[in-house]
Amino acid sequence: MSKRDYYQVLGISRDADENTIKKAYRKLAMKYHPDRNAGDVKSEEMFKEAKEAYEILTDSNKRAAYDQFGHAGVDANSAGGGGAQGFSDAFSDIFGDIFGGRSARSNMHRGSDLRYNLEITLEQAAHGTETKIRIPTMDNCDTCHGSGSKPGSSPKTCPTCNGHGQVRMQQGFFSIQQTCPKCHGSGKIIAHPCTACHGVGRIKQQKTLNVKIPVGVDDGDRIRISGEGEAGLNGGPPGDLYVVVHLSAHSVFRRDGDNLHCEIPISFTVAALGGEIEVPTLEGHAKIKVPDETQTGKIFRLRGKGIKGVRSHDKGDLLCHVIVETPVKLTVRQKELLEELESISLKDGPRHSPRAKSWMDKAREFFSE
């Protein structure tokens, strides 16, 4: 049986951050853990499936490989070992929430991932480009360098918990550990807060980044810039920035994967007698020979005039859809010539309009039935 998609297993979107992944896994693990479903084989399988998805998607390297190649991009045994350890790691926060216990280490948090929607033109997507973006983010305070303390001072060891981040309370027969109410689990207290960030250690800033857009990027593609998300808390690592590409509508071309489509209007004279027309491409112009008796809807394919995708070896094609244009604002003489043409065509019978004759035959057959 083929494996289910890891994002589907956890019930999350493909751009979910680490916190969202963790919350989804903890919810499923609480529901399907073997200790709570003794003898239930299905629940055990659901637990193993959720655990495997969690361990792959919380590992940045494995997640990147999975996003690109699916299950083939990750080792089938990568999530198989250390089941008890994985469960313990994921549930350390759950039991901390229930009983109030959090270690000082758990107060270190990775910064949030950021998303930036970038609109580019079709030409920029086809040839690649480099652009600057300006994003709002929470970054380490330059004054206190993220410590939260006023320059010249430093955080002190919490006197309530002696730096452990937890205190033990006796309730009847039970001894319960809970987060220290004085330092909120950090093990440190800030006696002299930084005046710039008010003791938080982070401030809201605008930063400018150079983003390289690879050749062939398509609408909806994501470019991950490691470490350019929000700064972490209490010494935690920064998050990542995901630049989501959106292609603006083009006046001539419509993209479909690596292929391009465009509509080419031609006069009914060229359609009837044939001729040569010039069509636009992303590299300039190209010429197409139009055979006589060409009808609306005819498609001319220009090989290699499309786009070379990010994961493609060759360029796609340009497909030109012919539209026979009806003339407008005719002069009296032009109308006379067209009427003369129509009169001659009627005398010659239906051989000049085979599609019309075929359609009429089908219509008569339909109504006769």
The Cα 336–Cα 343 span in angstroms is 10
Residue among 292, 242, 247 at smallest CA distance from 272: 292
Residue 323, number of CB atoms within 10 A of its CB: 13
DSSP line for 287-333: EEEEPTT--TT-EEEETT-S---TT-SS---EEEEEEEEPP-S--HH
DSSP line for 117-156: EEEE-HHHHHH-EEEEEEEEEEEE-TTTTTS-BPTT--PE
Residue 181, number of CB atoms within 10 A of its CB: 12
Helix, strand, or coil (residue 185): coil
**What would the two tokens of residue 255 be?**
């993209």
**Binding-site entries:** 141, 144, 158, 161, 180, 183, 194, 197
Burial of 45 (0-12, 13-18, 19+ CB in 10 A): exposed
Burial of 285 (0-12, 13-18, 19+ CB in 10 A): exposed
**Binding-site entries for Zn(2+):** 141, 144, 158, 161, 180, 183, 194, 197
